[in-house]
Chain A
Amino acid sequence: GPEDSGAKAAGGKPAKGGTLYVLNQSPQEDFDPARLYTSGGGNVPGLVFRTLTTRNRENGADGSKVVPDLATDTGTPNKDATVWTYHLKDGLKYEDGSAITTADIKYGIERSFAAELSGGAPYLRDWLTGGKEYQGPYKDKGGLASIETPDAKTIVFHLNKPEGDFPLLATQTSFAPVPKAKDTGTKYENHPVSSGPYKVVANENDGEHLVLERNTHWDAKTDEERKAYPDRIDVRSGLDAAVINQRLSSGSGKDAAAVTTDTNLTAAELAKITGDKELAGRVGTGHFGYTDYISFNPKVKPFDDPKVRQAISYAVDRSTVVNALGGSSLAEPATTFLPAQESFGYTPYDAFPAGKSGDAAKAKELLKEAGYPKGLTVTLTHDSSGGDEQGPEVATALQDALKKAGITVKLEGLESSAYSEKIHGVKTEPGFFLAGWGADWPSGGPFLAPIFDGRQIVQDGYNFNNAQLDDPAVNKEIDEINKLTDLKAAAVRWGALDKKIGEQALTVPLVHPVYKRLYGKDVKNVVISDWTGVLDVAQVSVK
């Protein structure tokens, strides 16, 4: 639970200077603000790109709050939250010393609509008036009329529906300013123009090796969030997970000042580290809003019968699932769909108490009621890549648990791309499969709406409303909450909605994963927010 979330700032006072090394698996292939799809502006990109708002860089639950960044506040809505207005702070400059204007922010957002720069988040397209038709600034020179920049410091967004979460969306990198004169299209990622505390001085092998140095035109006075202690940040990617963890744990040479932003400790590594006090002290724990669950498609027999879904809900053995995902320190059993965090509106409930290791008797009873006294055979679709949360380890654990309740599970493991294709196609969707959902920002909206809003059922693309639930009451409640600009009040209602949907047994929440990550000996001021769940490179110091 959240009680153990967040590591304490490591010993010693943080000081400026030195080089921070980041050891990662995935190269920063997309370093273009239009193409990035990262929660809260991302970690390394967040050093270069400032956005209208940003996440509060604090440990734990405080870290899931939204705070102003380029803007003076988190935004001024109109009455029904369809028009949002922002003003820029004074003294904002790019790395070349030129001033940041709202026109540049508008242009940056427009770029994210270009097909050449695919990959970013879809929300702006859905929310902005005229967003659906807009083709981006390269094809559509006229620009997007729903973004107005009455002056260089003001920007106004016109939405096609109320969105109380807009300030949270404004943390995404597509809200970073891009000076039109410096735009080089698909090549922009090689040298994006910095508005943040660091600028890119080297980008080798398409983001495999990045070197960032201080942006002298960045003024700390305009930025209350980023600490920017190190003088240099050296990001080396394309490394194997085991290599990263091994290097961090031995921490020799430069690795003493190293961190990772994308590599968790595996169960086996954790088993070894736990025995070592020094190492165990260098493990940061984070909670990112994420849920792994079983998804049903009630359009497919026998899952049209709520009793069958309930029987399975009772039969699951969450302890073997937890073990399959690395044991109790890497996964926490989940009975709610929403992550166990206040910002999401977490309201504890357990609609079908299965206990620690499943209630086979109750499940059998329900099956009998449903007309399967002799048990039944079902097929569970999962991702075939090992080590994946939707992978074979979890699937076989469930297979074994359901066997005790008389349910024979056949496994259908698919290659990652085939698996996503299948479970997200309305027509191809299987009846019973593993799925996972993560938050684009810490709020109940992006967590529940795509999964349960009937109007978000996508017929000819990727559909995430796997239960294909189209309940007017649910839809209406979602609209109502979206109108709220008081995020606290909204959260409470999201929690209530989650509980209400949970009773329908459309999903079986299994676990919420926990992130455990090593950092180097010399790393100080470790901050892990619940927003990202990972150590914030903008806050650490190596001196």
Chain B
Amino acid sequence: MTKYSALLFISGLVFLLMVITGLLPMGHTPMLVGNAILEGAKDQVGAANVVTSVVLGYRGLDTLGELSILFAAASVVGLVLTKSSFNKHASNNDDKHDHHDSGFVAVNAIDLIFPLLLVVGMYIITHGHLTPGGGFQGGVVLAVAFSMLVIVRPRRVSINHGMVSIIESFAGVSFIVIGVVALFKGQSFLQPLLGHGEFASLWSAGTLPLLYLAVGLKVGAELAGLLLALNTDEVAS
């Protein structure tokens, strides 16, 4: 019964979506907002990468909301998977002894790659307003770098959960503080401040690089925490 209704639903949806696709203006959409942003982005925000202007300038609140969603997801994963109570986060010191370092190849490869990944991650974050990439992508690289290190050699390296949560709080708070500073300078929340600098140079686009740095730290800390929480073998029952 459920199956048939599901199939009926699906076929209806297939029909609907196919018809819609036929009706859409493909390849020549009326980009009203898009054109306005392409015209004004250079003067209003000053980042060479217009997508960054949109992510942190025109739609900064969306980015803040997105960070909050990641934060919520990481909190829930922590709540669901660890036995921690107030003040005490489940430290993986206790179950160290059942972990073994991975094989020779993995250990050496990650030792070799780790600094490289850090540099690449920081480069992607700090050049987010000039080239493709930015806080999210660089943050992911950082998170993967750290959690690979922990996963590959759990005996030698452990990430301090308290440190991770302080970093993520600090990054989120600084994003908000940058926004609120603009608010109290008599302008509105998350308005780009500081001079635009020389266009397409590293020190340009006002507060955008700072915001992206906060985003990168936050995303990195959040995702590293997520990956490690998912990877701990201990589940509260």
Is chain B found bound to chain A in the same assembly? Answer: no
Chain B residues engaging chain A, CB cutoff 8 angstroms: none
Query: Which A residues have a C-beta under 8 Å from some C-beta of B?
Result: none
